[in-house]
């Protein structure tokens, strides 16, 4: 049996097909407009006899099954995709069971089932890249939400003296506006991957990420926090984030008494470029089992 998967991201769509054991083919298609991108997506899957399809899509999307716009992309800044009936379009071409979720939730699911959180009962996955998004998975399921989580848009407390204007059009001081790749580039005048490890900017970035993680921990207290995305490819960030996280917790949670060390609590994805792919494969399999 063959299973289809789509990771629909803001810059590229990754489409793939897997059998029971492995990924057979995986391609990348540029995200432009539905009129240009979707025919290529559909043509790819027409080559295979897939039995189910799991889609992890950039948000905001409508994931409420009883909603008239279930399967739609909602008010995204990518204007061409606003109110696009993504799931409906796929169902026109493929009469098979489909799963519809956010891209970060399927990545969280992948790491939960097969990756860095596979021994945990719950995990929070935060991707810090072009945007900042969070997914959450507990006991192998997603939360029944009104909208999906929008964890990149919680507000942070500014560090003293930080007057950077941020990069989010909606919020002065949200996580995405302060530590996404574009925010770091705007602040530093160069891309995150070009900034030296000892640049003082990383202290600031790590403090803001740590502050966000403190909030998530107070709200859902996950057993694992996984930090992924392009910005976190700068691996020197992990120990900095762990250090400042404990500073912000300020003894309020006694991690030592809970038997939890920071290097097992705030961790990297085990499948950095494949979390969402494997999450989708597993979700597609479950649709027919």
Minimum CB separation from its own copies for residue 232, in Å? 19
Minimum CB separation from its own copies for residue 25, in Å? 35
246 binds its own copies (CB under 8 A): no
The binder of its own copies chosen from 173, 186, 230, 270 (CB under 8 A): 173
CA distance 102 to 18: 20
The answer to whether the beta carbons of residues 56 and 106 sit under 8 Å apart is yes
Q: Compute how many residues bind its own copies; rule: CB under 8 A.
A: 52
257 binds its own copies (CB under 8 A): yes
Taking Cα atoms as reference points, which of 142, 240, 128 lies closest to residue 184? 128
2 binds its own copies (CB under 8 A): no
The binder of its own copies chosen from 103, 131, 148, 242 (CB under 8 A): 148
Strand partners, 18: 3, 23
The three-state secondary structure class of 5 is strand
Minimum CB separation from its own copies for residue 216, in Å? 6
103 binds its own copies (CB under 8 A): no
Q: Which stretch binds its own copies (CB under 8 A): 39-47, 49-57, 199-207, 250-258?
A: 250-258
Token output for 107: 């990545």
Q: Which residues contact 37 (CB under 8 A, 6 or more apart)?
A: 13, 29, 30, 31
Minimum CB separation from its own copies for residue 15, in Å? 28
- The H or E element spanning position 99 is strand 98-102
CA distance 265 to 267: 6
127 binds its own copies (CB under 8 A): no
Query: Which residue, 79 or 235, is less far from its own copies as judged by CB?
Result: 79
Distances (CA, A) of 45 to 14, 18, 39, 40, 61: 12, 11, 10, 9, 22
CA distance 214 to 26: 36
CA-based end-to-end distance of the chain: 11
Query: Which residue, 201 or 218, is less far from its own copies as judged by CB?
Result: 218
254 binds its own copies (CB under 8 A): yes
Minimum CB separation from its own copies for residue 30, in Å? 27
Query: Which residue, 156 or 281, is less far from its own copies as judged by CB?
Result: 156
- Report CA torsion sign: 249, 253, 256, 258: negative
The answer to whether the beta carbons of residues 146 and 118 sit under 8 Å apart is no
Q: Which of residues 3-42 bind its own copies (CB under 8 A)?
A: none
147 binds its own copies (CB under 8 A): yes
CA distance 164 to 174: 12
Query: Which residue, 170 or 197, is less far from its own copies as judged by CB?
Result: 170
Q: Which residues are at the interface with its own copies (CB under 8 A)?
A: 60, 64, 67, 69, 74-75, 121-122, 134, 136, 138-139, 143-151, 153-158, 170-171, 173, 211, 214-223, 248, 250-254, 257-260, 265
């Amino acid at each position: 049996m063959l299973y289809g998967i789509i990771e629909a991201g803001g810059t590229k769509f990754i489409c793939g097909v897997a059998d029971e054991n492995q990924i057979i083919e995986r391609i990348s298609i540029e995200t432009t407009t539905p009129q240009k991108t979707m025919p290529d997506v559909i043509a790819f899957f027409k080559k295979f006899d897939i039995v189910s399809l799991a889609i992890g899509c950039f948000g905001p999307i409508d994931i409420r099954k009883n909603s008239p716009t279930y399967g739609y992309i909602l008010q995204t800044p990518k204007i061409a995709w606003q109110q696009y009936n993504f799931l409906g379009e796929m169902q026109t071409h493929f009469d098979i069971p489909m799963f519809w979720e956010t891209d970060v939730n399927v990545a969280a699911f992948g790491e939960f089932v097969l990756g860095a959180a596979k021994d945990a009962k719950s995990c929070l996955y935060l991707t810090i890249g072009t945007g900042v998004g969070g997914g959450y998975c507990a006991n192998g399921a997603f939360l029944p939400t009104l909208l999906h989580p929008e964890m990149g848009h919680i507000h942070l407390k500014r560090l003293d003296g930080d007057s950077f204007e941020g990069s989010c059009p909606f919020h002065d001081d949200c996580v995405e506006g302060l530590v996404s790749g574009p925010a770091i580039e705007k602040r530093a005048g160069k891309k995150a991957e070009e900034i030296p490890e000892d640049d003082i900017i990383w202290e600031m970035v790590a403090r803001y990420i740590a502050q966000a993680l403190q909030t998530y921990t107070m709200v859902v207290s996950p057993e694992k926090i996984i930090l992924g995305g392009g910005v976190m490819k700068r691996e020197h960030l992990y120990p900095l984030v762990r250090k400042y996280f404990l500073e912000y917790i300020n003894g309020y949670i006694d991690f030592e008494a809970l038997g939890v060390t920071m290097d097992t609590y705030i961790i990297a994805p085990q499948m950095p470029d494949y979390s969402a792919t494997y999450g989708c494969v597993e979700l597609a399999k479950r649709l027919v089992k």
